[in-house]
Amino acid sequence: MSQDPLVVFTPSGKRGRFPAGTPVLTAARQLGVDLDSVCGGRGICSKCQVTPAYGDFSKHGVTVRDDALSEWNKVEQRYDEKRGLKQGRRLGCQAQIMGDVVIDVPQESQVHRQVVRKAATERVIAMDAATRLHFVTVAEPDMHEPSGDFERLQKALAEQWGVEGTTADLTLLAKLQGVLRKGGWQVTVAVFQDHTATAPKIVEIWPGLHEGGLYGLAIDLGSTTIAAHLTDLDNGAVVASSGLMNPQIRFGEDLMSRVSYAMMNPGGDAEMTRAVREALNDLITAIAQEAEIDPALILEVVFVCNPVMHHLLLGLDPVELGQAPFALTTSQSLSLPASELDLSAMNARARAYMLPCIAGHVGADAAAVALSEEPGKSEDLVLVVDVGTNAEILLGDTSRVLACSSPTGPAFEGAQISSGQRAAPGAIEKIEINPETKEPRFRVIGCDLWSDDPGFEAAVGKGGITGICGSGIIEAVAEMRIAGILDPGGLIGSAEQVGTPRCEADGRTHAYLIHDGSADGGPRITVTQGDIRAIQLAKSALYAGARLLMDEMGVDKVDRVVLAGAFGAHISPKHAMVLGMIPDAPLDKVTSAGNAAGTGARIALCNRAARAEIEDVVGKITKVETAIEPRFQEHFVAANAIPHATDTFPELASIVTLPKVSFNTSGEREGRRRRRKS
Amino acid sequence: MSQDPLVVFTPSGKRGRFPAGTPVLTAARQLGVDLDSVCGGRGICSKCQVTPAYGDFSKHGVTVRDDALSEWNKVEQRYDEKRGLKQGRRLGCQAQIMGDVVIDVPQESQVHRQVVRKAATERVIAMDAATRLHFVTVAEPDMHEPSGDFERLQKALAEQWGVEGTTADLTLLAKLQGVLRKGGWQVTVAVFQDHTATAPKIVEIWPGLHEGGLYGLAIDLGSTTIAAHLTDLDNGAVVASSGLMNPQIRFGEDLMSRVSYAMMNPGGDAEMTRAVREALNDLITAIAQEAEIDPALILEVVFVCNPVMHHLLLGLDPVELGQAPFALTTSQSLSLPASELDLSAMNARARAYMLPCIAGHVGADAAAVALSEEPGKSEDLVLVVDVGTNAEILLGDTSRVLACSSPTGPAFEGAQISSGQRAAPGAIEKIEINPETKEPRFRVIGCDLWSDDPGFEAAVGKGGITGICGSGIIEAVAEMRIAGILDPGGLIGSAEQVGTPRCEADGRTHAYLIHDGSADGGPRITVTQGDIRAIQLAKSALYAGARLLMDEMGVDKVDRVVLAGAFGAHISPKHAMVLGMIPDAPLDKVTSAGNAAGTGARIALCNRAARAEIEDVVGKITKVETAIEPRFQEHFVAANAIPHATDTFPELASIVTLPKVSFNTSGEREGRRRRRKS
């Protein structure tokens, strides 16, 4: 008895029998195999390419003969001539099943293809963008059955793609009739349907088959810098990345000074809103130019940012965030037209998504880190620290996740440091101090040589050493502590106490000279006692926040630490631990996640289910408010010592022995300064 | 055995027993009695006023004692002192049930109160506005349970009013924090929730209890005039009505000339869109001033208009409506932010609703007429004719409803008539011609006297007679036919043929002189042969459209005729029938519905269920396209005669005998001119 041919799809393993002559795409659809198609099987979009396999497949119990698929037809030949079909590939909508066959669906033909985030962590993103393209044939108008062009387009989308109840705004309707007629009643539409209950919306329409692609932006809107990744919504590829300074800096370096600006100047919040939106438009224009795409092809944007930036971007006055009880206007995620944010540089009907905020001090950026690093899916207890002007801290495992933010201030970014500067060529980023001679050697950004390597001066050039960046100052302070230049209380010893002329008198305190460029007209780069105090304040705040979460969790140690933030990538785990920035942990359990907030934004951009996921996760996170927790002050004071006044660091001790020194001869009390919030 | 007190509500008749001390409002809610409340029982909004009845009520089996309700409490006393409580009234939220009682809920305390549309037809509108006010107490922020102010407002609305899942746009969120704090965490919100699946949306917020009211606009956007009714959304009262000329007239008097303008001038459609939107803003500003209300209290607008005005208002190019197949961009109803129509004069978050179009030539105005006149609910067969520049015609009964539009042109409005003018003071609106003497007498708008009454000239003044309006010309032509001045073919006889010098030679044809004001420097008002031809074209089109629907329905007569349109109110049924504008029917079965389209707009404004209803009704209407129906031309030609070449008018004949005259001595062929469409 003859049976219908058997078709087996790989990698899914889905299989079924179909009458001879069934197109591969039809079989795939009926079996629920993830095989892409924009044109709906008309042989013009080439998205449904498959690779048939021939021969014996005992694993599948199938023998595939050479004639298992129909011969190449004219459509495939024409496509191959015009654009070239890869060796062994067929168009799934044209090739018909004639005998038993094994069909492989390559990654790029899958709708829900997976994209590797980056080599470092091998994190994959499954594609499931909210905006999708559909090619449709629309019925022509009929006077005897009058209906609007839009109603016939709706019907076509429902019948040909199962997309029911689409909507469109007036600007789309205004171009509808022209495009339908230009395309001869065949058009491609971009349909936006996210994870919310909102009806699918037609956001763009092109005559015929649109082959120009579709893009989205993942934007990490920081207090200091704005970083954007232009992403192909079809395959998740980042086609361009760009960034610029946040122009709000002119209203205040840190968040609280911007809140003050809004408080003191009527209309100041609107001024800052305008500034950041203008900058975003500039950024969008620039990134589209860089990628050589029409900015009108950018149909989505996802934002992550802290609560103050969140409010200022959305046009909400941030003053309530500057004082207890730190009430957000809204904490939930937002899905809205990008035009409401005046983002006119992208498509006029583009959509914007803002991740939810966790609390008044713990923003959408922290939510994005949670989405990227998934502490709630970790079997061991992980501490995730996103280091910036504010540090966002997450602690958790599969049982629960806690979050807080801690006001570290800008010291970790090189600001408020005497020789500090932003990470840019000429900035010292790595430093080692010889414990015997107390002599430093260092590297600067933009040069691979160490300062004691031959040719360093030539390579760097005159005046080429300009300051110390954030990671440089952390290393410098930690190395000073290891070399016995700094005591546990944070005092720099005198030249006599330390035994090097590099410890210079600086008023009533001392400073350590790293580099003297004054002979060449360059700067003298020192670490002053004031710099040490600034770093101590910052690291105490960070550590105290982490400790508070550990108290709440009822633990004294964590299994691993993830350093996130653009800056986190450059911090050496050993130095961070010598400084007591983070709790003691095995060094190989301290890793960097790079810009985890930016990664979270990209995940939310590429996968709408991730939006639902993070909204759910954020709802379950336990928020800890550092500003009202009395223990925060206790932890903060105890963390002032380097590495710590009371907590032991056994893992650190196993690899570094810190010298027992004390330079406190004068009863100096400066180190006991408290910083208070609000 | 003692029982809980019994409470009987009137007029609903709902009854139940409640423990002594239960507030009347609580009892009403539990029984599902329609008793209004904005403040939710806090004794501040006074919406829940009730009238207790005392004494024996054998009908209800209840005896109500004087102490059936609790004594007046402080809240009621304070309210009475400040604002005065009507005699016998109590506040339902304060008065407690202490014994058996009968409680009447007066009309104004019912949410779904009924509003009489107008005395003429006694049509009632049940109130069920899409925008409602709710007073809520919002939880204050808590650092230990961080959530946004908006999320706590959402929760309050869900808990206190059962309104779940509200949304808000950024402009509302931007004022939220300030209003919540100003109101001491008590605010009034306006929530928009129409008949669609869209989530309820907070469109306005006020600190404390808002008592300034809430308004909506019903706008009939005609080709020539724009009429607006400002309506109180709480009780349906029209608080002001206003109108202005459609400024698009400068781009073309009739619809097709505006479509031509858009076709011939790139950007011409946008120009016309801008013009009408500016006019609407002027109208909104003026009507709010007239009513002495803040225009920001206008939160809804409902539009009815023909398809070309529909497209031009929405910013859609109308060119496709100027040629077969007359494809609308969209035919379904639209619910959208009024800001998308640039209606900045009203609240920035106001909502607009546009009724659905029936077909490319039969617009939202015809749908509004269907909503107002409800032919589909008529037991007898009714013909509804909305007479304007285009006539919209509906024919139906409970079995089915048919619709078409017919291009009557502007003659019925006094345009393209030699002495024609718009309906304004000085225009002849009524005329009688003595069949014996052939002498006319008439009345002009603005004067109650007939022209042969003593004192007429003094009352009208010099040059006070300026022309003939639309209803005047119809009467004039009909009276000329009755008086034997005009023959059935539409020819005006000569002075000799008719026997009066008022029949003057006018080139190769004749004109009938109604009034000669030239001695006083005023106009000579005549009806020319050209005027007769214009009226013949218009009435033939109207009659042919009606006949086409009768053919489709398979009938030769209708049971009744409704004349709609502002103009319809002024047409005398007898004259309309002498002219053959409408099919023969008993004169008492020909009624006027006034501005039925405007009434339909008001119904849709006040009652969201009516929106769902008309969308459903429109979907079931059978559309007949006059432009492609060969029988339309046949009917048109046959209807050229006055009243008709072949159809008999037995009902008309029973009251008027038309003289058998013929003035065609020259083989004049002018009367056979055809008008063709596209």
Q: Please, which residues have CB within 8 angstroms of residue A280's CB and are 6 or more apart in sequence?
A: A219, A221, A226, A313, A341, A343, A345
Instruction: Tell me what the mean pLDDT of segment A428-449 comes to.
Output: 93
- What average pLDDT is seen over chain B? 90
Give CA angle at B129 (B126, B133), nearest 5°: 125
pLDDT interval class at A420 (50, 70, 90): confident
Site from A172, A175, A177 to mutate, B interface, most B CB atoms within 10 angstroms: A177
pLDDT interval class at B566 (50, 70, 90): low
Q: Does residue B266 have a cis peptide bond before it, meaning omega lies within 30 degrees of 0?
A: no
The pLDDT score that the predictor gives to residue B673 is 44
Q: Which of B140, B177, B315 lies nearest to residue A174, judging by beta carbons? A: B315
CATH number (domain holding residue A10): 3.10.20.30
Q: Within this chain, do residues A150 and A244 fall inside the same structural domain, yes or no?
A: no
Asked if B470 and B535 touch (Cβ cutoff 8 Å), the reply is no
Q: 């260092």: which residue's tokens?
A: A442
Tell me whether residue A548 is in a domain: yes
Indicate yes or no: CB of A174 within 8 angstroms of CB of B328.
no
Cα–Cα distance between B11 and B349 in angstroms, integer?
37
Please name the residue of chain A whose CA is at the shortest distance from the CA of residue B177.
A329
Site from A143, A179, A626 to mutate, B interface, most B CB atoms within 10 angstroms: A143
Chain A residues within 8 A of B359 when measuring between CB atoms? 146
Q: Give the three-state DSSP class for A303.
A: strand
Q: What is the 3-state secondary structure (H, E, C) of B563-587?
A: EECCCHHHCCHHHHHHHCCCCCCCH
Instruction: Tell me what the mean pLDDT of segment B271-300 comes to.
Output: 96
Q: pLDDT (tens digit, 9 = 90+) per residue, B75-103?
A: 888 888 888 888 889 999 999 999 999 99
CATH number (domain holding residue A326): 3.30.420.480
Give CA angle at B397 (B392, B401), nearest 5°: 45
Tell me whether residue B321 is in a domain: yes
Question: B529-554 b/e with 16+ CB inside 10 Å = b?
Answer: bbbbbbbbbbbbbbbbbbbbbbbbbe
Cα–Cα distance between A90 and A96 in angstroms, integer?
10
Given the cut 0.95, state whether the ipTM is greater than it. no
Q: Within this chain, do residues B228 and B200 fall inside the same structural domain, yes or no?
A: no
CATH number (domain holding residue B185): 3.10.20.880
Tell me whether residue B360 is in a domain: no
Cα–Cα distance between A100 and A556 in angstroms, integer?
62
Indicate yes or no: CB of B146 within 8 angstroms of CB of A340.
no
Tell me whether residue A117 is in a domain: no
In chain B, % helix, strand, coil (3-state, to 5) comes to: 35, 25, 40
Q: pLDDT (tens digit, 9 = 90+) per residue, A534-561?
A: 999 999 999 999 999 999 999 999 999 9
Cα–Cα distance between A433 and B562 in angstroms, integer?
100
Q: 């939880």: which residue's tokens?
A: B139
The pLDDT score that the predictor gives to residue A666 is 61
Indicate yes or no: CB of A143 within 8 angstroms of CB of B628.
yes
Query: Which of A411, A414, A418, A417 is closest to A391 using CA atoms?
Result: A411
In terms of residues, how long is chain B?
678
Percent of chain A at pLDDT exceeding 70: 96
Q: pLDDT (tens digit, 9 = 90+) per residue, A291-329?
A: 999 999 999 999 999 999 999 999 999 999 988 899 999
Q: Which residues pair with A205 in a beta bridge?
A: A189
Instruction: Tell me what the mean pLDDT of segment A56-64 comes to.
Output: 87
Q: pLDDT (tens digit, 9 = 90+) per residue, A130-173?
A: 999 999 999 999 988 889 999 999 999 999 999 999 999 999 99
pLDDT of residue A119 exceeding 60 = no
Taking the model in full, what pTM does it have? 0.84
Q: Which of B525, B560, B582 is the last residue of a domain?
A: B525
Indicate yes or no: CB of A170 within 8 angstroms of CB of B328.
no
Q: Which residues pair with B383 in a beta bridge?
A: B395, B561
Domain count for chain A: 5
Site from B169, B171, B177 to mutate, A interface, most A CB atoms within 10 angstroms: B177
Can you spell out the DSSP letters for B597-653?
HHHHHHHHHHBHHHHHHHHHHHHHPEE--GGG-HHHHHHHHHTTSSS-SS---HHHH
Q: Within this chain, do residues A396 and A347 fall inside the same structural domain, yes or no?
A: no
Q: Within this chain, do residues A492 and A579 fall inside the same structural domain, yes or no?
A: no
How many CB pairs below 8 Å do chains A and B form together?
138
The pLDDT score that the predictor gives to residue A223 is 85
In chain A, % helix, strand, coil (3-state, to 5) comes to: 35, 25, 40
Q: Which of A476, A497, A526 is the last residue of a domain?
A: A526
| Residue A163 Cα to chain centre, angstroms | 31
In chain A, count of helices (H) and strands (E)?
17, 32
The pLDDT score that the predictor gives to residue A586 is 93
Indicate yes or no: CB of A150 within 8 angstroms of CB of B332.
yes
Q: Please, which residues have CB within 8 angstroms of residue A12's CB and are 6 or more apart in sequence?
A: A33, A34, A105
Q: Which of A141, A151, A330 lies nearest to residue B148, judging by beta carbons? A: A330
Tell me whether residue B117 is in a domain: no
End-to-end CA distance of chain A: 84
The pLDDT score that the predictor gives to residue A124 is 74
Cα–Cα distance between B482 and B504 in angstroms, integer?
19
Q: Which of A331, A336, A625 lies nearest to residue B151, judging by beta carbons? A: A331
Asked if A353 and A218 touch (Cβ cutoff 8 Å), the reply is no
Q: 């033939």: which residue's tokens?
A: B540
Ramachandran angles phi, psi of A217, nearest 5°: -120, 135
Asked if B354 and B294 touch (Cβ cutoff 8 Å), the reply is no
Q: Within this chain, do residues A242 and A336 fall inside the same structural domain, yes or no?
A: yes
Indicate yes or no: CB of B340 within 8 angstroms of CB of A169.
yes
Tell me whether residue B359 is in a domain: no
Helices (H), B58-166: 74-83, 149-161
Q: Please, which residues have CB within 8 angstroms of residue A657's CB and are 6 or more apart in sequence?
A: none
Indicate yes or no: CB of A623 within 8 angstroms of CB of B326.
no
In terms of residues, how long is chain A?
678
Least confidently predicted of A368-382, A560-574, B480-494: A560-574
Cα–Cα distance between B291 and B216 in angstroms, integer?
12
How far does the CA of residue B369 sit from the closest CA of chain A (Å)?
19
Q: Which of A148, A177, A627 lies nearest to residue B332, judging by beta carbons? A: A148
Indicate yes or no: CB of B174 within 8 angstroms of CB of A317.
yes
Please name the residue of chain B whose CA is at the shortest distance from the CA of residue A320.
B177
Indicate yes or no: CB of A149 within 8 angstroms of CB of B177.
no
Instruction: Tell me what the mean pLDDT of segment A496-524 comes to.
Output: 92
The pLDDT score that the predictor gives to residue A463 is 65
Torsion of CA B367, B371, B377, B383, to 10 degrees: -50
Q: pLDDT (tens digit, 9 = 90+) per residue, B152-209?
A: 999 999 999 999 999 999 999 999 999 999 999 999 999 999 999 889 999 999 999 9
Indicate yes or no: CB of B143 within 8 angstroms of CB of A326.
yes
Strands B186-192 and B131-137, bridge-based pairing? antiparallel
Q: pLDDT (tens digit, 9 = 90+) per residue, B359-370?
A: 988 999 999 999
Q: Within this chain, do residues B425 and B397 fall inside the same structural domain, yes or no?
A: no
Chain B residues within 8 A of A330 when measuring between CB atoms? 148-151, 173, 176
Q: Which of A148, A175, A207 is the last residue of a domain?
A: A207
Chain A residues within 8 A of B171 when measuring between CB atoms? 315
Site from A154, A323, A328 to mutate, B interface, most B CB atoms within 10 angstroms: A328
How many other CB atoms sit within 10 Å of the CB of residue A240? 18
Is residue A57 within a helix (H) or strand (E), and if so which, with residue range? strand A55-57
Q: Within this chain, do residues A380 and A467 fall inside the same structural domain, yes or no?
A: no
Q: Give the three-state DSSP class for B191.
A: strand
- What average pLDDT is seen over chain A? 90
Tell me whether residue B125 is in a domain: no
CATH number (domain holding residue B553): 3.30.420
Tell me whether residue B1 is in a domain: no
Indicate yes or no: CB of A325 within 8 angstroms of CB of B149.
no
pLDDT interval class at B457 (50, 70, 90): confident
Percent of chain B at pLDDT exceeding 70: 96
Q: pLDDT (tens digit, 9 = 90+) per residue, B608-633?
A: 999 999 999 999 999 988 878 889 99
Indicate yes or no: CB of A325 within 8 angstroms of CB of B628.
no
- What's the longest Cα–Cα distance across chain A? 102
Chain B residues within 8 A of A325 when measuring between CB atoms? 140-143
Indicate yes or no: CB of B330 within 8 angstroms of CB of A150.
yes
Phi-psi region of B326 (alpha: psi -120 to 50; beta: other; left: phi over 0): left
Q: Which of A223-227, B118-122, B247-251, B552-556 has the highest mean pLDDT?
A: B552-556
Q: Within this chain, do residues A135 and A184 fall inside the same structural domain, yes or no?
A: yes
Q: Within this chain, do residues B629 and B499 fall inside the same structural domain, yes or no?
A: no
Q: Within this chain, do residues A496 and A519 fall inside the same structural domain, yes or no?
A: yes
Indicate yes or no: CB of A314 within 8 angstroms of CB of B357.
no
The pLDDT score that the predictor gives to residue A519 is 83
Give CA angle at A223 (A221, A224), nearest 5°: 100
Asked if B228 and B286 touch (Cβ cutoff 8 Å), the reply is no
Chain B residues within 8 A of A142 when measuring between CB atoms? 325
Q: Within this chain, do residues B557 and B585 fall inside the same structural domain, yes or no?
A: yes
B677's tokens: 């469409």
Please name the residue of chain A whose CA is at the shortest distance from the CA of residue B152.
A330
How far does the CA of residue A149 sit from the closest CA of chain B (Å)?
5
Radius of gyration for the alpha carbons in chain B, expressed in angstroms and rounded: 30
Please name the residue of chain A whose CA is at the shortest distance from the CA of residue B626.
A143
* Strand ranges in B246-339 using DSSP code E only, listed in sequence order: 298-305, 334-337
How far does the CA of residue A635 sit from the closest CA of chain B (Å)?
19
Asked if B611 and B333 touch (Cβ cutoff 8 Å), the reply is yes
A430's tokens: 């790595």
How far does the CA of residue B310 sit from the closest CA of chain A (Å)?
12
Chain B residues within 8 A of A326 when measuring between CB atoms? 141, 143, 146
Site from A138, A140, A308, A316 to mutate, B interface, most B CB atoms within 10 angstroms: A316
pLDDT of residue B678 exceeding 50 = no
Domain that holds residue A290: 215-354
The pLDDT score that the predictor gives to residue B124 is 74
Indicate yes or no: CB of A325 within 8 angstroms of CB of B143.
yes
Q: Within this chain, do residues B305 and B345 fall inside the same structural domain, yes or no?
A: yes
Asked if B47 and B54 touch (Cβ cutoff 8 Å), the reply is no
